[in-house]
Amino acid sequence: MRSSLLSLVILFQFCFVQTLPAQEKQIAPENDQCIKCHTHQTITFENTLTKREDKRLMNPLYILDKNHFAQGVHGRFKCTDCHPAEYSHYPHKAELKLEPLSTCLDCHGGDARYASFQFEKIDEEFQKSVHFQKSGESFTCSKCHDQHYYQAKSRNSTEVGDIVLFSNQMCMSCHSNNNKFQLISDSLKPALAQIHEWLPNQELHFKNIRCIECHTQVVDSLSVSHNIMPKEKALKNCVECHSKNSMLEASLYKYKNLQGRSQKGKLHTIIANKAYVIGAYQNNLLNSVSIILFLVVLTGILIHLIARIVKK
Amino acid sequence: MTHVHKIYLYPLWLRIWHAINALGILILITTGITMQYSNPAFKLMNFELAVNLHNISGIAVSVSYFLFIIGNRLTHNHTYYRLKLKGLYTKLTLQIVYYTYGIFKNQSPPFPISEKRKFNPMQKVAYLIVMYLFVPGLILTGLGLLFPELILENIYQLSGIFLTAILHASLGFLTSIFLIIHLYVASIGKYPLNNFRSIVNGYHDTNIH
């Protein structure tokens, strides 16, 4: 029950954030023909057998949210950049569905323009992950990264909450949805709330850190770690995050901090630090003031004590 | 000729409250430091244990605080905390002069303990600040951190949790400073252990010449 409620909250937040108008972003005009049908709930077509016009419900899986698509990293793409060019003819041939789609590495692999994102390294890490180990090639990038709507949040967003929401929604899209979960497993989705019962302030953790913080091995050179570990290896040691050298600095806050420092200076990052993690947040100024105050009190007491003993 | 006169200054309920409060606050300070300065290389205590102990002691100290307030209202104990602003500056000066000079000259304290006066003006001010400002502040911010959904998400540019946690840690630090001074001041007197004995058996010894 708690798990479903949590998923609903995350889903609601996700929808709310994601359905904001695309503002200036427009999708490629070449897609107009596709969008005419694929953004509507119904489809009207000429039935060649009955020779009548039929109006039917569109398969929900084939309905595109065009505003959401326009905001994604592929928002300026033509549909036929990834889908077979034959889709430009209607009615679409049934066997087109069986054709394998382009994979991420087909475009991103071995291309100097994307070198900094290290797609090959990501693939290497992903192949060590429990997802690949259990499902092999059938676990494609798109299982988590929906090509239509994917946004590079962890790199571009300055809002930690936004990064967390977007990232956790990727995990929750299967781990809180039995239909999708069973695409890769014979069992039912895990009871997330019960499994994480040991975690104090569970909802606060779910809302403020990404699942991957504990469920992946952090690789410094990668923006986002892709080696999702088996659940037995998940991090359960509080001080990995709750300490001065918090692991979160190398993962969740990495880009936020780097951006903040370069754009607004270090001071701003400290003042506008919207995150508070017990143990990880240690303000140098407050630390120094407290140590000085502590030493002044101790010194005062010591002098007073010595004077009392001497004057006795 | 000097003889010792005993005043029953600390009734049983107050001593029980004081003991619970003292134990709770010591645990809160230890676990609070463990969490605030947690370091995997130097572990004072397991982090998870510190969190649980801090939560339990925090609730225990909060409940005992309300019992203290009720006890104060039901008995005449609250009268010891009454502070008259008129002449306060002079009284505080007298007490400061005693602590920094007179005490070393074997002068008598300007505000000796009696049945009607448990605290000198400096103690009154300190206890009023700690018991009616710091502790309630710690309880409120502590409750906020225990139930973060109660806290405003953002206050202007800053996270509500961030502000609450900073306030909680700062008040906790100031309370621990108070504790150190409190323990030291308790050792002042003819015999350093007298006041510690008093808070256990309830009787305060005064010397009558």
CA of A211, closest CA in chain B: separation in Å?
20
Residues 6 or more apart from A114 whose CB is under 8 A from it? A108
Chain A positions touching B154 (Cβ under 8 A) are 274
Q: For chain B, 209 residues long, give each residue's pLDDT as a single digit of tens.
A: 456 678 888 899 999 999 999 999 999 999 999 888 887 777 778 888 898 999 999 999 999 999 999 999 999 888 888 888 888 999 999 999 999 988 888 888 888 888 888 889 999 999 999 999 999 999 999 998 888 778 776 676 667 788 888 899 999 999 999 999 999 999 987 788 888 898 998 888 776 54
Looking at residue A15, its pLDDT comes to 44
Residue A306 Cα distances to A299, A303, A311, B9, B188, angstroms: 11, 5, 9, 30, 13
B78 in reach of chain A (CB within 8 A): no
| Cα separation, A131 vs A273, whole angstroms | 34
3-state SS assignment for residue B91:
helix
Chain A positions touching B51 (Cβ under 8 A) are 200, 238
Query: Which residues of A fall below an 8 Å CB-CB distance to B?
Result: 200-201, 203-204, 237-240, 242-245, 271-276, 278-279, 281-283, 286, 290, 293-294, 297-298, 301, 304-305, 307-308, 311
B161 in reach of chain A (CB within 8 A): yes
Q: Burial letters for A98-114: b for 16+ Cβ neighbours within 10 Å, e otherwise?
A: eeeeebbeebbeeeeee
How confident is residue A14, by pLDDT bands cut at 50, 70 and 90? very low
Residue of chain A whose alpha carbon sits nearest to that of B145: A201
Rounded CA Rg of chain B? 20
Mutant choice from B29, B33, B38, B152 vs A, greatest count of A C-beta within 10 A: B38
B156 in reach of chain A (CB within 8 A): no
Taking alpha carbons only, the member of B189, B200, B61, B181 closest to residue B125 is: B181
Instruction: Look at the alpha carbons of B193, B199, B200, B201 in this order and tell me if their dihedral is positive or negative.
Output: positive
Looking at residue A169, its pLDDT comes to 93
Mutant choice from B150, B159, B167 vs A, greatest count of A C-beta within 10 A: B159
Residue-wise pLDDT for A38-73, tens only, equals: 999 998 888 888 999 999 999 998 999 989 999 999
Q: Do B104 and A301 touch (CB under 8 A)?
A: no
How confident is residue A18, by pLDDT bands cut at 50, 70 and 90? very low
Indicate the residue of B35, B48, B181 with minimum beta-carbon distance to A297: B181
B184 in reach of chain A (CB within 8 A): yes
Q: Do B37 and A203 touch (CB under 8 A)?
A: no
Residue of chain A whose alpha carbon sits nearest to that of B172: A290
Chain B positions touching A271 (Cβ under 8 A) are 157
Q: Do B161 and A276 touch (CB under 8 A)?
A: yes
DSSP code for B132: I
Domains and CATH numbers, chain B: 3-208 (1.20.950.20)
Work out the mean pLDDT of chain A and round it to a whole number. Answer: 81
Q: Do B170 and A286 touch (CB under 8 A)?
A: yes
Chain B positions touching A307 (Cβ under 8 A) are 104
Indicate the residue of A273, A290, A294 with minimum beta-carbon distance to B162: A273
Chain A positions touching B173 (Cβ under 8 A) are 290, 293
Indicate the residue of B38, B149, B162 with minimum beta-carbon distance to A274: B162
Chain A positions touching B165 (Cβ under 8 A) are 276, 278, 281
State whether ipTM is beyond 0.90. no
Q: Are B66 and B143 in contact (CB under 8 A)?
A: no
How confident is residue A16, by pLDDT bands cut at 50, 70 and 90? very low
Taking alpha carbons only, the member of A72, A71, A175 closest to residue A130 is: A175
Q: What percent of chain A has pLDDT over 70?
A: 81
B162 in reach of chain A (CB within 8 A): yes
Single-letter amino acid code for the residue at A168: N
CA of B50, closest CA in chain A: separation in Å?
11
